[in-house]
Chains A and B, each alone.
Chain A
Amino acid sequence: MKKEFKASINRALNDANLTGALGKFSEAYRVNRAKAYDGIDFEALRGRIAEAKSSAACHLDEVAEVFKQNAEALGAKVYRTSDPEQVKEYILQVARDNGVKSVVKSKSMASEEIHLNKALLNAGISVAETDLGEWIIQLAGQTPSHMVMPAIHLTKEEVAEIFSKEVEERLDSDIPRLVKVARNELRPKFLAADMGISGANIAVAETGSIVLVTNEGNARLTTTLPRIHVALVGVEKLVEKFETVVPILDALPRSATAQLLTSYVSIITGPSPNDDGSLKDLHIILMDNRRTEMARDPKFKQALQCIRCGSCLNVCPIFRLVGGHVFGKIYTGGIGTILTAWFDELQKSEEIQGLCIQCGNCTEVCPGKLDIPEMILEIRRRLVLEKGQPLAQKAIFSVVNNRKLFHGMLRAASVAGKPFTSGKFIRHLPLFLSDLTDGRSLPAIAEKPFRDIFPEIRQPKGGEKAVFYAGCLIDFAYPETGIALVKLLNRAGIEVLFPEEQTCCGAPALYNGAYEVAAHNAVDNIKALLEVEAKYVVSACPTCTVALAHDFAKTLQDQGRSEWLDKAKELAEKTVDLSTLVKRLVEEGRLSFEEGEDLGRITYHDSCHLKRTLKVSQEPRELLQKAGYELAEMYECDMCCGMGGSYSMKLPEISAPILKRKLHNIKETGAALVAMDCPGCVMQIRGGFDQDGETVRVRHTAELLAERLK
């Protein structure tokens, strides 16, 4: 990562105003959003939006043409172009033809995308942003830090400072007073402006309507007072039918600001009269700027389902730490990374795409049903294709791709790491894990990996069989989790098999865009795991489970290795995570726990892949309670712990504060014990508590359950 990028991250992390404001907002947002959606079937609602937007994206060209015809029939002038330069030329031409001297703008991200203000100013036309946040940013000469709340990084004192300069009067930091100043300053600009420029939240083809959603009332003035109204609309805003306006208006304000509806919604269908009796000179510019190309790309077409609510930013554990500025000048957060990669250029996203920790929070709240983490992985993959793997990474993956060498090195690490081992932790792991990090101790590589312990375990024979897929962490760092798993299944009369040829699940390679390596890992594992007859393939690592159950087939398909798809499917169908399987066994009466003892309070940390990809969250809780624990839920129980595989090594400065927050939330419950289903989370959180000097015990659910077997 480049120095300037790391520097911008550090600036943001050390900006207490920014992290304070974003942190508080993200906490309030979670509660308020839930309240706003109370009584609404969110899945059904976003299903409607995604379907309608996807349908429009499938034939953007025709939909745009229908819009053009319908809007023009009503007297609007519709200009379609894919080129941002032509957008600017068109608007400047309209301005020249009409002697426009001043412009008022209501918020338009599309105009920021093409740097329209600069073009207008260069032509000698004055421009005023009228959205309060945008105006503050404009006066300060800054760029927005959030798509919906552009000035969230500034304090009222800073705003007072900025406004004081503008009005040449010493203002104090009373917020209502500052808002009044903005009203009074901008009112004459509205009344004098020759042209109003707006964006649009929706453009409806069948009626030729544009829909504007605002709270301040600036869009109403922008579209009413000047003689000329130019609406700059990205073609992704197009929908075919007017009926789609309803679900979008149901979702947009709720998701953006947790409002049932914004103060104002304007549905403009053709020009209306001006106050001098003339008809509005209404220009609607449908701007493409690579959106059609995006719609044709099977991996990115879903990005056109975005309604620009910004909820993906509001729930992102990274965004609330670093804010928007590290993402670049225009679009921010996860969706911003994707839009920057397309509207600007792929290379510009090279560093910011690395900010995504793949926790999947955004996929749960997105009203357009976008899978942002998946698209970011695809960007990663394409960057690797274009630029090749960084050298150090390449070296690592060439090792991971050779099981014998890889496992040999892990064994060597167990020996080499020894002099540095303090209790269960070492401060510095050798090999590729060496470049680590403050705030967390790393586990020692186990003296004896699970694969060497396994043959010594005496098991019941002849019954049902399950293949255990251990994954690297359980195999080499936490063999005790594997032992617990065997004990649990044995008690239910299941014999556990451990094919020795199993190797890394390929997730580290996949999440770094090295699909070829991941595909190689997939094939090795498919061969190993299907070689033996068994009813289940069980894993106690959610990331590995996701790899086996979801990623293998996708990766192989992507790499053109379709001869493996049937096998991948067969493996996926057999794959199950430990908690789900154990719960099933308990329900079938094949497993039960000791009763009668009060084990005290426990809190449970939801691992990202388990909760959001595998949709498993109640199972471990129920099991732990059955085993005698009293569950005390922590705040933000399903927020990422900051591990994210190699993320915590690449961006330790971001990972560390996320972990710190997690540790704090765990401690707040007062429980002396925290359970989780992922060895990666165990590594992160246990390591955190070790450095923290706290005595909270961190355990994998499998171990806790195995201790309580009847």
Chain B
Amino acid sequence: MFEQFKTRATGVGAEVHRVVTCRDAVDFILGFLKKEGVSDLSGSYAVWADGPFLRGVDRELLKQVPGLSLEVTRERAAQAKIGISEMSFAVADTGSLVQDQSAVDQRLASSLTGIHVAVVPSANIVSDKTALFSRISPKTSRYIAFITGPSRTADIERVLTIGVHGPERLIILFVDELGGAA
């Protein structure tokens, strides 16, 4: 299912990566922040929304990253180049990511920023929406968000253009070690 997901997600413009350990994942993210020039300047911030993976990461290490904030406020997110959040599920047949985003920081990090980095447990790839809805339900989740590729429009002359109101890049990072807890 990973291959199907990857085909579909890259087909709509997402970038898909996969690492084995959580350590690899942290390295990937920190490397990415550096490469993208995240810094203490407004417009170049990064925000990282709370989640089980983040809770396992060494805070001291993150504190050393200039411009990175774990407090996701609207002001900070609006000035952030990169938002990192954890998405619970990947849906293979449409290349979508899904998460309960009732907590507002999850939405701020994934909607106001220019680039969204989504961390996903590799074992949580489901085949389709029917399979998904056996795992997540509006009875327990108040804001179920599907994200499929970056923000797009074709409203001017039907020309597909990326990055209207949401992120213009979606980086998906599967982490095998995260297992299937969601």
Contact = CB atoms under 8 A, between A and B. Distances in A.
A657 interface: no
B155 interface: yes
Given A218-B165, A260-B94, A21 B138 contact: no
Interface in A247-275: 249-250, 257, 259-275
Contacts of B152: 215-216, 263
A182 interface: yes
Contact of B164 (A132, A207, A224): A132
B139 A156 contact: no
B82 to A, nearest CB: 16
A242 B133 contact: yes
Given A270-B142, A272-B143, A257 B165 contact: no
B102 A221 contact: no
Contacts of A191: 74, 78
Given A133-B155, A260-B94, A267 B104 contact: no
Nearest to B146: A265
A225 interface: yes
Interface stretch (B16-24, B61-69, B107-115, B171-179): B107-115
A155 interface: yes
B155 A150 contact: yes
Interface string A216-260: 111011001100000000000000001101100110000001011
Contact of A21 (B93, B105, B144, B158): B158
A175 B104 CA distance: 32
A367 to B, nearest CB: 16
B121 interface: no
Contact of A204 (B73, B138, B149): B138
A187 B153 contact: no
A271 B153 CA distance: 28
B112 to A, nearest CB: 7
A266 B145 contact: yes
B104 A263 contact: no
Contact of B151 (A216, A267, A274): A216
B129 interface: yes
In which size bucket is the chain A interface? 35 or more
Given A261-B96, A264-B146, A178 B156 contact: yes
B155 A273 contact: no
B124 interface: no
A159 interface: yes
B93 A132 contact: no
Interface residues of B, number: 50
Contacts of B74: 191, 225, 275
Interface in B157-176: 157-159, 161-167
B181 interface: no
Interface string A135-174: 0100000000000011110111001000000000000000
Contacts of A175: 156-157, 159, 161
A149 B160 CA distance: 12
Given A221-B111, A224-B111, A249-B129, A274 B104 contact: yes
Interface in A37-85: 74
Given A272-B142, A275-B74, A130 B157 contact: no
Contact of B156 (A28, A179, A183, A257): A179
B103 interface: yes
Interface string A666-699: 0000000000000000000000000000000000
Contacts of A179: 153, 156, 161, 163-164
Given A221-B165, A266-B145, A273-B104, A242 B138 contact: yes
Contacts of B158: 21, 24-25, 28, 149, 152
A263 B149 contact: yes
Contacts of B104: 224, 272-275
Interface string B58-93: 000000000000000110001000000000000001
B129 A132 contact: no
Contacts of A275: 73-74, 104-105, 108
B8 A260 contact: yes
Contact of A215 (B96, B103, B129, B151): B151
A459 B95 CA distance: 67
B107 A220 contact: yes
B164 A217 contact: yes
The 8 closest A-B pairs by CB, nearest first: A217-B166, A133-B155, A265-B146, A216-B164, A267-B144, A269-B138, A217-B165, A217-B151
Interface of A: 21, 24-25, 28, 74, 130-133, 136, 149-152, 154-156, 159, 175-176, 178-180, 182-183, 186-187, 190-191, 204, 207, 209, 215-218, 220-221, 224-225, 242-243, 245-246, 249-250, 257, 259-275
Given A186-B165, A263-B148, A272-B101, 9 more contacts: A149-B155, A151-B156, A176-B162, A190-B165, A215-B153, A263-B147, A264-B145, A264-B148, A264-B166
20 contacts: A132-B164, A136-B155, A149-B154, A175-B161, A179-B163, A179-B164, A180-B163, A187-B78, A191-B74, A216-B166, A217-B166, A221-B111, A221-B165, A261-B95, A264-B148, A266-B144, A267-B141, A267-B145, A269-B143, A272-B143
Interface of B: 8, 12, 73-74, 78, 93-96, 101-105, 107-108, 111-112, 129-130, 133, 137-139, 141-159, 161-167
